[in-house]
Structure 1
Amino acid sequence: MSRFTRLALMTAAGVAVGAAFAQPYNAQADMLQKIGAGEGEVAIIAWTGYIEDGSNDKSYDWVTGFEKATGCKVSVKIAGTSDEMVSLMNAGGYDLVTASGDATMRLIRGGTVQEINTALVPNYSTIDPRLQNAPWHTVDGKHYGASYQWGPNVLMYNTAAFKEAPKSWDVVFKETTLADGKSNKGRVEAYGGPIYIADAALFLMKHNPELGITDPYYLDEKQFAAAVDLLKGQRQLVAKYWTDAAAQIDEFKNEGIVAATSWPYQVNTIQADKESKIKVGSTVPDEGSTGWSDTTMMASSAPHPNCAYLWLNHSLEPATQAGVASWFGSVPSVPAACKGQAILGDEGCKGNGSELFDKIHFWKTPIKDCGSGKTCVDYKTWTEAFNGIQSGQ
């Protein structure tokens, strides 16, 4: 199955879960009141690079020690988009998921994840106070997960095509001649998920203020239409839509891509490859950026809840947080991980964008009833529109 066929199936699944988002909460599982004996395993859905066991690089391993200490064998299913995560969680069989904000409320409202007992997660109190009660995982004072990592969606660029870091996202939205004397047409990549519409809306917030966009995820019909039109125009520049981080790395190295929305993970990987002839940089342009604050959430029907709680606490250990941040290029949700951890270094958090928190518009699920009497376009419509953009309709 091709990557694009798989993406079509994932976004189709997103339509179904988008519809479920509008429904009342389903019955939630009873919270565990005491951690008992581990069940011997824990199954996690995660973004690439989030759960490393040393097999990619022996210096990056926050799994082996956990397995030895708890007897809980960790298995990981890598997902490429939030829609894929929602679909996998809805199918069942997993304990935990490292969900971004554009998936968390769908999982909560669909009854797919359960409230966690923070008393069983001693390290919960060490989470950045800005994230302990974040609206993408807290409902009516109830916590449906523990913050894991966060960061911006960055503009990755080929340094041969750009003599200096681009100051605007217009290099991926509008045709322009680059420093290498060539057009950017056919040399741009865009993220292959419906939430990418928010990137267009963020660009319009600054460049078309008459639209009155104040939140790139809560768009009325006129604002939404403008964002979709921008992406339809961008379609003429886009060589590919990416959802696979490894594939994007390969496409920058071998297929002539010079500018794209990306994650720090891809940037770090290419920069660390001493044999790569392609050199890249990254930046957050003047318009700011969308971004992700990921939450480890527990399935309502988690088959291994005791091991899941043990992992939740382990995921918040400073050493674990620092390891993830160093490998992925993210920012720890636990500030203590930013100091005294050799693997990250005392300046690692700043280098990964810790100072950008207030400039990031974190992913969240578009909903119809978006507050202040405003009616917004819901996620189901975002999904349908983005499918049309990708297919050139």
Structure 2
Amino acid sequence: MSRFALSRRSALALMGGAAAFGATSRLAHAAGEIKVLNWQGYGTDEKWALEMFEKKTGIKVVHDYFNSEQEMLTKLRTSPGVYDVVLMNNIYVMEAAHEGLIQALDTAKFSNFNDLTPALRDSDRFVMGGKHFAIAWVWGLTSFAYNTQKITAKPDSMNALWDPAHAGKVGWRDDALESIQIAALATGQDMNAPADIEKIKEKLKSLKSQIKTFWSSEDEWNKYMAAGDYDIAVYWSGSAARSKKAMKLPVEFVVPKEGAIGWFDGLTIANNAPNAEGAAAFINFMVDPEFYVKWDNDIGAPASSNAKANAQLPEDALNRVVLGDPEVVKRVQWMAPITDEQKQKNQELWDEVKTSFAL
């Protein structure tokens, strides 16, 4: 959640002024529809936002979903010419670009482009050969959230997930890379280059008595937490804010002393997108303060890549109080791209761990 990545472009809703908007609107009405591939419940499918966007542009937005980045890549590979906008975590953008799954973007078509945080906007995770392949959208942390009705003292360590007091009450996402990185942090290692992989394996195997169930979507996480199945569970910062605000769940997100997994997501335009113009317009809308501030205030969201959007949040908002705290940011370890060979090794390790759970 999990959890930064891609971008989209468009010469539609980027221009200011009534005349420009009129031209954009006519193009959009002619285009009719775009198809977005994303995690379910992750901003782009908010009903009110889609209604707002369609009213502005005449473009209808339909969605398809994935439960893992590998599933996202598989859908792009096997369904060319189907998707317009695709959400991607930053570590997958260059892989998709090299494969020709996404297209280079004309940044002049995005009116909000210059307001994006340069470190995210111009990251080498998004830019190749001087061309942007993703528009920085949101960023956040992966750590854990806890049920405040079941745990009264706020945990300050990643090892709270291994605390015997929560045996059989821990929620965990079935994801190899995330699992290994969390275990690396819990054992005091560099999550991108752990020195002792055997220690990580044993740490993960010791979760056997802890895990209540695996979750694969935000909706599942909320249902398990609402049912009281979880005392504590791996989660994403923006999702935790949304669970608390929109779902009214008694949860708090923690950035433990060992650190947390930092990620940033972007919005991309698929190669051979049926409606690239509409896709660009939608991406520009997604990074606009008009959308983001309402999303965060009403629903809960990750931090925006748009500095102007973050500045408009209430002073007590999570994305200003926690993610805006320099001391918190110092503890973050940022996700780095990994090779196919390492992905395979990670999956083999995680499969071995899960097999041990069944013994």
Instruction: Return the TM-score normalized by structure 1.
Output: 0.75
Q: What are the equivalent positions in structure 2 for 1:106-121 lying under 5 Å apart?
A: 106-121=95-110
**Map of 1:308 onto structure 2:** 279
Q: What are the equivalent positions in structure 2 for 1:141-290 lying under 5 Å apart?
A: 141-172=130-161, 174-176=162-164, 183-196=165-178, 197-204=180-187, 206=188, 213-214=189-190, 216-219=191-194, 223-272=196-245, 279-290=250-261
Aligned-pair CA distance for 1:126: 0.8
**Contact kept? 1:325, 1:332, Cα under 8 Å:** no
Aligned-pair CA distance for 1:266: 4.4
Seen in structure 2, the aligned counterparts of structure 1 residues 102 and 391 have a Cα distance that, compared at 3 Å, is: farther
Seen in structure 2, the aligned counterparts of structure 1 residues 357 and 133 have a Cα distance that, compared at 3 Å, is: farther
**Map of 1:25 onto structure 2:** none
Seen in structure 2, the aligned counterparts of structure 1 residues 390 and 104 have a Cα distance that, compared at 3 Å, is: farther
Seen in structure 2, the aligned counterparts of structure 1 residues 187 and 33 have a Cα distance that, compared at 3 Å, is: closer
**SS of equivalent residue, structure 2 residue 112:** helix
Seen in structure 2, the aligned counterparts of structure 1 residues 225 and 103 have a Cα distance that, compared at 3 Å, is: farther
Matches of 1:345 and 1:367, distance apart in 2: 40
Aligned-pair CA distance for 1:280: 2.4
Seen in structure 2, the aligned counterparts of structure 1 residues 106 and 358 have a Cα distance that, compared at 3 Å, is: farther
- Look up the equivalent residue of 2:57 and give its one-letter code: T
Listed as ranges, the gaps of 5+ residues in structure 2 are 1-7, 13-23
Seen in structure 2, the aligned counterparts of structure 1 residues 252 and 33 have a Cα distance that, compared at 3 Å, is: closer
- Look up the equivalent residue of 2:44 and give its one-letter code: I
State the superposition RMSD in angstroms.
Answer: 2.7
Aligned length: 327
Seen in structure 2, the aligned counterparts of structure 1 residues 165 and 140 have a Cα distance that, compared at 3 Å, is: farther
Aligned-pair CA distance for 1:297: 1.0
Listed as ranges, the gaps of 5+ residues in structure 1 are 1-30, 55-60, 177-182, 207-212, 369-376
**SS of equivalent residue, structure 1 residue 153:** strand
User: Is residue 130 from structure 1 mapped to residue 119 from structure 2 by the alignment?
Assistant: yes
**Contact kept? 1:52, 1:62, Cα under 8 Å:** yes
**SS of equivalent residue, structure 1 residue 122:** coil
Deviations 1:33-86 (A, max 9, x none): 9768342111111232312443xxxxxx32222212222211122333222222
User: Is residue 76 from structure 1 mapped to residue 63 from structure 2 by the alignment?
Assistant: yes
Deviations 1:150-203 (A, max 9, x none): 11123211224322211101111x343xxxxxx321111112112211111222
User: Is residue 295 from structure 1 mapped to residue 266 from structure 2 by the alignment?
Assistant: yes
Seen in structure 2, the aligned counterparts of structure 1 residues 99 and 323 have a Cα distance that, compared at 3 Å, is: farther
Which deviates more, 103-112 or 284-293?
103-112
Matches of 2:200 and 2:338, distance apart in 1: 14
**Map of 1:41 onto structure 2:** 33
Deviations 1:339-368 (A, max 9, x none): 34xxx4344331462334443323343227
Aligned-pair CA distance for 1:298: 1.2
Seen in structure 2, the aligned counterparts of structure 1 residues 163 and 299 have a Cα distance that, compared at 3 Å, is: same
**Contact kept? 2:10, 2:280, Cα under 8 Å:** no
**Map of 1:15 onto structure 2:** none
**Contact kept? 2:9, 2:281, Cα under 8 Å:** no
**Contact kept? 1:32, 1:117, Cα under 8 Å:** yes
**SS of equivalent residue, structure 1 residue 234:** coil
**Contact kept? 1:338, 1:347, Cα under 8 Å:** no
Matches of 1:328 and 1:101, distance apart in 2: 21
**Map of 1:336 onto structure 2:** 308
Matches of 2:50 and 2:246, distance apart in 1: 25
Which deviates more, 352-361 or 281-290?
352-361
Seen in structure 2, the aligned counterparts of structure 1 residues 362 and 81 have a Cα distance that, compared at 3 Å, is: farther
**Map of 1:389 onto structure 2:** 353
User: Is residue 353 from structure 1 mapped to residue 323 from structure 2 by the alignment?
Assistant: yes
**Map of 1:7 onto structure 2:** none
Which deviates more, 288-297 or 107-116?
107-116
* Match 2:343 to one of 373, 379, 387: 379
Seen in structure 2, the aligned counterparts of structure 1 residues 98 and 362 have a Cα distance that, compared at 3 Å, is: farther
Q: What are the equivalent positions in structure 2 for 1:9-20 lying under 5 Å apart?
A: none
Aligned-pair CA distance for 1:89: 2.1
Matches of 1:110 and 1:71, distance apart in 2: 32
Aligned-pair CA distance for 1:130: 1.7
Aligned-pair CA distance for 1:330: 1.1
